[in-house]
């Protein structure tokens, strides 16, 4: 068991890695908790209704309803954890972790600030440093694994509505994954690398959203499907299949799966910022420094988190056949056209 004396004698590199682990895993989790409150307040504002404004702590923040976050957590902890007798209990318990972990792990490669040098040592503001060989392939691969959590939750529930939700999630993933991959490959081709640090460096002076606006639209649309957010929340569509893969879940298992949607939303926003909006770069500032770069990344991240909420409470859910048509007949041809156009430009330039 390490003592405090041992911890005080850790090398700066070890302490820096511990700090990054806490930031990368604690940051999105904390932000996701706050986003549950922002979503309710945002829904109230957009749809002109009352949001959380009753929960109060010692008589303070009554109008804001901020203690609602703590109230939700306490309620989830104290609710009885009912497990239906007809479920596969082992898989039923594992499924929430399979949904939550990919959402958190996808943030590990994202640079959330400018690298800096101290004592002759270079420190990178990302959990996984550049040169690890994975680059932006890592969050895309990890994010796609979240569908296994949905499928295992659906299958283990032994419920027809849950099975329908799981099948919808798998078909939905197939319909948008190819278009999303082509949009990202075009970014790799333009930057000449798939390392996020190099992709950000390549956006000095011109963010990718301008020359690759079509790819940005395709990728962002796919992110709504990736996170199971409206207008593409077919895996849980309560109007048609009760609650889909979540039907048999309650207590903390439901809270974990519910919170994973918001963590995934944070990771998706970070991907959009990194690929298309210069990451931590500040317009017209060549060397923003550590604190300004972190602030710039956070502002961009919060904007796209709000965009996810804004779209949810503005657009109605698509029909399932409309999603299939959008994925195969609209987004895939657009993504292919975007890829071929930029490949042609690179060929002409020699």
What integer pLDDT is reported at residue 5 of this predicted model?
Answer: 46
Q: Which residues of the chain have a pLDDT value below 50?
A: 4-5
Residue 121 parent element (H or E): strand 121-123
What integer pLDDT is reported at residue 131 of this predicted model?
Answer: 62
Three-state DSSP at 290 gives: helix
Three-state DSSP at 275 gives: helix
Residue appearing with tokens 């996170």: 227
What integer pLDDT is reported at residue 169 of this predicted model?
Answer: 81
Residues 6+ apart with CB under 8 A from 344: none
- Tabulate helix, strand, coil % of the chain (nearest 5): 65, 5, 30
Residues 6+ apart with CB under 8 A from 227: 261, 264, 265, 268, 308
Domain ranges of the chain: 81-349
What integer pLDDT is reported at residue 277 of this predicted model?
Answer: 93
Instruction: Return the HEC string of 181-239.
Output: HHHHHHHHHHHCCCCHHHHHHCCCCCCCCCCCHHHHHHHHHHHHHHCCCCCCCCCCCHH
Classify residue 13 as exposed, middle or buried by CB count within 10 Å of its CB (0-12, 13-18, 19+).
exposed
What integer pLDDT is reported at residue 350 of this predicted model?
Answer: 66
- What digits encode the pLDDT tens for the residues 299-346? 999 999 999 999 888 888 888 788 888 888 899 999 999 999 988 888
DSSP letter for each residue of 80-108: -----TTS-HHHHHHHHHHHHHHHHHGGG
């Amino acid at each position: 068991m390490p003592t405090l004396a041992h911890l005080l004698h850790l090398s700066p590199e070890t302490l820096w890695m511990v700090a990054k682990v806490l930031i990368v895993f604690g940051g999105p989790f904390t932000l996701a908790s706050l986003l549950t409150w922002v979503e309710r307040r945002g829904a109230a504002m957009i749809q002109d209704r009352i949001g959380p404004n009753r929960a109060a702590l010692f008589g303070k923040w009554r109008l804001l309803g901020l203690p609602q976050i703590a109230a939700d957590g306490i309620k989830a902890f104290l609710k009885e954890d009912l497990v239906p007798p007809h479920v596969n209990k082992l898989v039923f318990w594992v499924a929430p972790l399979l949904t939550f972990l990919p959402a958190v792990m996808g943030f590990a490669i994202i640079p959330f600030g400018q690298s800096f040098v101290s004592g002759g040592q270079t420190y990178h503001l990302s959990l996984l440093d550049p040169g690890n060989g994975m680059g932006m392939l890592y969050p895309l691969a990890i994010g796609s694994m979240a569908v296994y959590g949905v499928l295992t939750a659906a299958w283990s529930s032994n419920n027809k509505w849950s099975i329908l939700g799981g099948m919808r999630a798998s078909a939905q993933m197939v319909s948008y994954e190819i278009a999303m991959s082509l949009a990202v490959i075009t970014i790799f081709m333009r930057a000449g690398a798939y390392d996020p640090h190099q992709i950000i460096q390549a956006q000095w002076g011109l963010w990718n959203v301008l020359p690759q606006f079509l790819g940005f639209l395709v990728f962002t649309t796919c992110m709504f499907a990736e996170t199971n957010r409206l207008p593409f929340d077919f895996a849980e569509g309560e109007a048609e299949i009760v609650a889909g893969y979540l039907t048999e879940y309650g207590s903390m298992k439901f809270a974990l799966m519910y919170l994973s949607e918001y963590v995934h939303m944070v990771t998706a926003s970070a991907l959009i910022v990194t690929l298309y909006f210069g990451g931590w770069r500040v317009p017209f500032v060549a060397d923003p420094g550590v604190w300004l770069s972190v602030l710039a990344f956070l502002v961009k991240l919060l904007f796209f988190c709000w965009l996810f909420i804004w779209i949810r409470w503005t657009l109605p859910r698509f029909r399932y056949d409309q999603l299939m048509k959008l994925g195969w007949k609209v987004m895939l041809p657009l993504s292919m056209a975007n890829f071929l156009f930029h490949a042609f430009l690179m060929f002409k330039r020699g």
